[in-house]
Structure 1
């Protein structure tokens, strides 16, 4: 952020504001961690922000400090719409286009509030009064830490805020293994630990609370793994029937796509997950190196994200979707085999 934006923010927060904080649909660790961390910081400034999520999120994130105060737009629709209508500031975190909020989009588009965006995805839209966008950042949570620092507020970071921000940085960096993890990221994390974030406990809460059903589901996913050696690609399919068999809950397939990248010689991994309720195949793309899954998802599967991590969707069946995917790989063979 520039000095003018910082001055504007300091002036805004000098008096009570009606503030709403919104993450993207199907919020992940970075989305929940950043919204709750920011909300706790704004409370320390004397504000009373409300976090509204478009829909539900995984159980393994529901222990994070402040979770109990989150409003779910799907379940608490009337109250959520009223808060959006009454807000004069709306923060949008971990996304950069209002379409990423699902059914909330139409209400956000007509809101009277000034928008403030904090996000690290590529190609941001221009709806916000203040846009803090940096595609080189590890996570939105690292950006929220910088946001707090720019307002001279790091002395207000409590154990709860530190815990929220640590969750998002840890999950969005793949436990600090992705290339977006910089020395500055580690410095921020060190500061969060100094502020009270218990790194071992946080890791256990997020990653070590599997149900037997989820592990069985992982077995199904790995059994469905297909390796395309000529394209250095691996993909997984999961049907609605397979999900139902093992009592699928939101978040149960989180991280499954990354198993493809653990194979020697594989640089492109994909998972296709059937969602009959929405009538789509949900797709997650991952890569290592220079192959941009963001560009691939944008060009072919109505999606986008980061260079090495992106999402997309298909509105035809699993067979047609995977056939299309395989046919597309022929046009990318040189990029996948540099």
Structure 2
């Protein structure tokens, strides 16, 4: 999916409705609000809405709209940062005239009339920042939009410290920071909103296992999800706590869901996407994912990661 196709869809629809996933994180809300504010500024004649369930802890980035079903009739619907349709917040997204998927996750459902999926980006906010700065004659970025982009990128890159931020990420962040917003304020609000994973330190420190090769793994079963009062998507954030509190060279989070084992892998220097591909997954060089069929396969993956680490 070329950026120009997205641009054409945006310019030809009078109504644009932006969605994201349930249980949103900084990148989901950030990309949604940044896109909404930028389109409103760039195309004042268009109707632009952000839809989805309210998330009070992230309302400092931006709030959601309320619209009637008939607004979808001739609308362009853009879904940000959502791998599968079942995880889109507000399923009315399927009622639009044209559906666009913008995502940086490679291991998802191929839905939508138009798709821009690129796992080389750290976040959807980085993707949108690249789009906006590539077409400055079309997109007029506002301070509020820049702030939302910054929050999303900081969230998915762990404040640029989790190995997800590349040269392009840093360039886009540098361009974003030229706008009038206070990055230190965003950092404080992000910590208050849940970026501080210290509450999970006892759990991950007790449950994590580390091999002689420096592979740290954390297994989260269905029973644990119930006890922790988390769904599988919320539990995915435990990868940040694992990397923060367990010394290792590679970190692997296994989450049991729907009879499968979803995997998140992180590293600071070692290419882990190659191992993920062996299991039908993929992703970034230092941040990848896969879907396994059994707990036995998790042992095989850890062994392969250990061999990769020792090469």
Shorter-normalised TM-score: what interval? Answer: 0.7 to 0.9
Partner of 1:93: 80
Deviation, 1:103, is: 8.7
- State the 1:19 CA deviation: 1.9
Aligned to 2:58: 61
* CA distance in structure 2 between the aligned counterparts of 1:233 and 1:279, rounded to whole angstroms: 25
2:286 is matched with 308
What is the TM-score normalised by the length of structure 2? 0.76
Q: Name the residue aligned to 1:198.
A: 182
Uncovered stretches (5+) of structure 1, i.e. residues with no partner: 72-78
Deviations 1:302-334 (A, max 9, x none): x6543433455678xxxx73x541244335543
* Map of 1:37 onto structure 2: 34
1:296 pairs with 269, 276, 290, which one? 276
Counterpart mapping for 1:169-180 below 5 A: 169-180=153-164
Query: When the two structures are superposed, what TM-score results if normalisation uses the length of structure 1?
Result: 0.71
Counterpart Cα distance in 2 of 1:264 and 1:137: 26
Instruction: Tell me the matched-pair count.
Output: 309
Deviations 1:244-263 (A, max 9, x none): 66766998756532454468
Relative contact order (alpha carbons < 8 A, sep ≥ 6): 1 or 2 greater?
Answer: 2
Contact 1:60 1:209 in 2 (8 A): yes
1:220 and 2:207 equivalent? no
User: In the alignment, what sits opposite 1:51?
Assistant: 50
Q: What is the distance in 1 between the residues matched to 2:166 and 2:307?
A: 29
Residues 262 and 290 in structure 2, CA contact (< 8 A), matched pair in contact too: yes
Q: Distance in 2 between matches of 1:6 and 1:36?
A: 17
Q: Deviations over 1:29-55 (max 9, x none)?
A: 2121111110111222222223334x6
Partner of 2:24, secondary structure, is coil
Structure 2 unmatched ranges of 5 or more? none
Matched, 1:24 2:21: yes
Q: 1:163 aligns with which of 138, 147, 157?
A: 147
C-alpha distance in 1 between matches for 2:60 and 2:232: 15
Which residue does the alignment assign to 2:249? 267
